[in-house]
Amino acid sequence: MTSALQPDADLTPADPAPDGRKPQNPATEDPTAEDPTTEDPAGASLTAQGPASEADLRPAAPPSVASRPPKAQRKPRVQGRFFTVPGQIVSLVVLIMPLLVALYMSFTDWSPTRSSLRDAAFTGLDNYKELLVYDDRFVEAVLRTLFLAVTSLSLEFVLGLTLAVLFLRTFRGKRFLFSAFLTPMMVLPVVVGYTFWMLFQANGPINQILHLIGLAGVEWLKSSNLAFAAVVVTEVWHWTPLFFLILLSGLNSVPENPVRAAVILGASPRQVFWKVVFPMLRPVVAVAFVVRAMEVVKIFDEVFLLTRGGPGSSTETVSLYIYKLAFNDFQLAYGAAAAFLTLTGSLIMVHLLLTPVRDQLMENGR
């Protein structure tokens, strides 16, 4: 079964087969154990067997004191700084500084057409209040983005799980099909948006197929609801492969013994899947949802090329609205405030998504 996951094993002989590399010795298995003060976000506690670790998504499990090596072997502290400082400087200069500027900006009434940022009046939380209380378009964009996230992630999950379960069976050409099913992920978002714009034209192939099966074609991109459906279809096409990939890797690392036991005890295949296998998949499912949720709230390129947020503002997502505020209307300060509100909301959302599975993640982290 794992062969499906390593179709390129013979294509990259230089690869030291990380999949087959199991920790040789318990003392090295968990680097976090060596220094309880540090977090190990890459989930090093995971063995090659483990279904998943939430890795970066939470601080690592409390290190076990028993496996702590003698002091002499602990990580040298001082030299480490020299390794991480270059990367930190780059992030600080290029990413954190602009973020702080944007944060300051969001508390002013600055607009580049009127004054310089230094002269802009400090208006406190006015922008935020305006957004939340008076700006219906923002609130609608937020709700729309959430709705888009819920519908497309549910569909991606169902389709991805279906496909992953089909891949547990044996059939010819599996390696090739595995690659084929991953193709959409490699396509540039702008290209995805443009391609689906073509597909959804009134005289495009989707309507042609509808005609073939006896349905009337529709003007997909000219009606609010249909345009939204088109965005969902596009998003689902683009990212179902990621769910497929993650769920299949989860399914393949489900331990065999509980499954065998259930079979011996007379469970039907359906019961085995839903009562034994699926519960063990939950941490993997959580990772898939969190990773996708983070990305889908930022969705921009595909929608920009497919509908530009229209007709009207019926497919306008938060990112699209912020983009229009900043680069069409030059309301930079207001746009920055919208961005920070979105960020806060996203953080809360990811936290809530993680909470119900956190305990289970810890147990299954192994």
Binders of other proteins among residues 220 to 279 (CB under 8 A) are 237, 241-242, 245-246, 249-250, 253-254, 256, 259, 272, 277
Lay out the site mask for other proteins across 87-126 (x = CB under 8 A, - = otherwise).
Answer: xx-xx-xxx-xxx-xx--x------x----x---------
Binders of other proteins in range 282-301 (CB under 8 A): 284, 287-288, 291, 294, 297-298, 300-301
Q: Which stretch binds other proteins (CB under 8 A): 120-128, 130-138, 224-232, 334-342?
A: 334-342
The answer to whether residue 179 forms part of the interface with other proteins (CB under 8 A) is yes
> Is the Cβ of residue 129 or residue 208 nearer to other proteins in the bound state?
208
The answer to whether residue 46 forms part of the interface with other proteins (CB under 8 A) is yes
As given in the structure block, the two tokens for residue 127 are: 């922008």
Task: Give 38-41 contacts, CB < 8 A, sequence gap 24+.
Answer: 38/75
The answer to whether residue 188 forms part of the interface with other proteins (CB under 8 A) is yes
Q: Which of 75, 129, 222, 366 binds other proteins (CB under 8 A)?
A: 75
| Contact indicator for 184, 241 with CB cutoff of 8 Å | yes
Q: Nearest-CA neighbor of 151 among 91, 210, 229?
A: 229
What is the Cα–Cα distance from 197 to 222, expressed in whole angstroms?
A: 12
Task: Give 353-359 contacts, CB < 8 A, sequence gap 24+.
Answer: 353/286, 353/289, 353/290, 353/293, 354/54, 354/57, 354/58, 354/286, 354/290, 357/54, 357/282, 357/283, 357/286, 358/54, 358/58
String of DSSP letters for 75-101? PPHHHHHHHHHHHHHHIIIIIIHHHHH
Q: Which of 148, 163, 231, 303 binds other proteins (CB under 8 A)?
A: 163
| Contact indicator for 231, 148 with CB cutoff of 8 Å | yes
Q: Which of 107, 128, 157, 197 binds other proteins (CB under 8 A)?
A: 197
| Least Å from the CB of residue 232 to other proteins | 14
The answer to whether residue 48 forms part of the interface with other proteins (CB under 8 A) is yes
The answer to whether residue 15 forms part of the interface with other proteins (CB under 8 A) is yes
Q: Which of 313, 342, 357, 364 binds other proteins (CB under 8 A)?
A: 342
- 201 in the Ramachandran plot: left (φ > 0), alpha (ψ -120 to 50) or beta? beta
> Is the Cβ of residue 58 or residue 358 nearer to other proteins in the bound state?
58
